[in-house]
Amino acid sequence: MKRSRLLLSITIIFFWASEYCHMPYFTPYLQTLGFAASLIGFLTGIYGFTQMVVRIPLGIVTDVTGGYKKTILMGTVFTTLSSFGLIFATHFITIFICRMLAGIAASSWLAFTILYAAYYEADESVQAVTNVNAFNSAGKLLAFILGLTTATLWGYKIPLVCSFLTGIAAIFCAVQLKPITLKREPFQFRHVLAVFSNPAVLCASFFAIIMQAFLQGTVFSFTSTVAKELGASAFEIGLNTVLFTLVQILSAGFIGKKVLKWLKPYQAVTIGFLLMGLSCLFVAYGDHMMFLYAAQIIGGVSNLMANSVLMSLIIRFVPQENQSTAMGLFQALYGIGMTIGPVMTGQIASVSTYSMAYLVMGIMTLVTAALAPVMLRKMN
């Protein structure tokens, strides 16, 4: 079992490295190809939209067939094909198809999560999810380091080559995964309805929507713009991005084994969203890069705490044979937050300032923190 965990952990690292190596440089790369801003926005957004569409049916199919390894292998193959195609693509349609393949690949994350949790005992679900999120972050950290290094030395296209090579490594690891048989029953539509009406799934999804709005509207988008306005160098902007994932990797063991075992789910989610609000306020009122560094560190810890608990609710309160369907619904719904977060921050900043945008985002997360004890208190 330990070997299976290790092999899947390595697969996760290479998989997310393949998805993210070129991500920070995708927009400027498209600019060098001569695409207008409107088309660049469309090609960027199709990645998240594809996930919203694919995740629920993929989750249902994975539950029905029990093909967790097959879904993981599909994801590694699709992310590799996507990056390989983007290396040579210059036309809109080709890039569009490649971005859809990347979105489908990202949708396979639900199978990674369920299979990894299956390697743990039922009462270790929080620890399992904390670990799987840490390996997710490790993959993104590897991606940022590879992307930053190669883009600086050789230009925006080379991170695509890194995505392709890490994708090949992910396929190699995924092929060697040991299939595991999880409890499942013949497909019945009432099982899908039960998932869609499950209070734990709906509550977790609500908080995940706000959390993703925070992440995509601040951490992974406009915080770098704010840093640039403060006069940060390219290295400082890169360091600011890396801090978010680095702190998650370093704190995962302590948070998973100590903090989340000591706190009740609603308490952990409450603290997580309070810290998200605090990180937004640091950016809104900070006038030095140290405030942004602090915001990224706080944001990383808060995201790890809240996300680990929310994902563990799916595993704990949904029967094993329906967990991929539930995780698909959960991840499809939080795609709403991935979409509205950057739009909201950008619109507020365009009519006011980035400080006002971050203040609004901070208030939203603080209000969400107040809702956690009300909505999650009974889910212990």
The mean pLDDT of 62-91, rounded to a whole number, is 93
If asked whether residues 128 and 86 sit together in one domain, one would say yes
CA distance 16 to 81: 14
Give residue 142's domain range: 1-175
If asked whether residues 8 and 60 sit together in one domain, one would say yes
Domain count for the chain: 2
Residue 65 lies in a domain: yes
Residue 184 lies in a domain: no
If asked whether residues 195 and 169 sit together in one domain, one would say no
Look up residue 154 and give its two tokens.
């050789």
pLDDT of 306 higher than 90: yes
If asked whether residues 247 and 370 sit together in one domain, one would say yes
Count of alpha carbons within 13 Å of 154, Cβ hemisphere only?
Answer: 11
Residue 371, pLDDT score: 96
Residue 288 lies in a domain: yes
Predicted structure pTM score: 0.78
Question: Of the residues 120, 144, 175, which one is the last residue of a structural domain?
Answer: 175
DSSP letter for each residue of 57-74: HHHHHHHHH--HHHHHHH
Write the single-letter amino acid at 153.
L
CATH number at 102 reads 1.20.1250.20
Residue 80 lies in a domain: yes
If asked whether residues 131 and 226 sit together in one domain, one would say no
pLDDT digits (tens, 9 = 90+) for 1-51: 678 889 999 999 999 999 988 877 776 788 789 887 667 767 877 887 888
If asked whether residues 260 and 217 sit together in one domain, one would say yes
pLDDT digits (tens, 9 = 90+) for 123-163: 777 778 888 888 998 998 899 889 888 888 888 899 999 99
Residue 181 lies in a domain: no
Residue 52 lies in a domain: yes
Helix H, strand E, coil C: the string for 210-266 is: HHHHHHHHHHCCHHHHHHHHCCCCHHHHHHHHHHHHHHHHHHHHHHHHHHHHHCCHH
Question: Of the residues 175, 200, 221, which one is the last residue of a structural domain?
Answer: 175
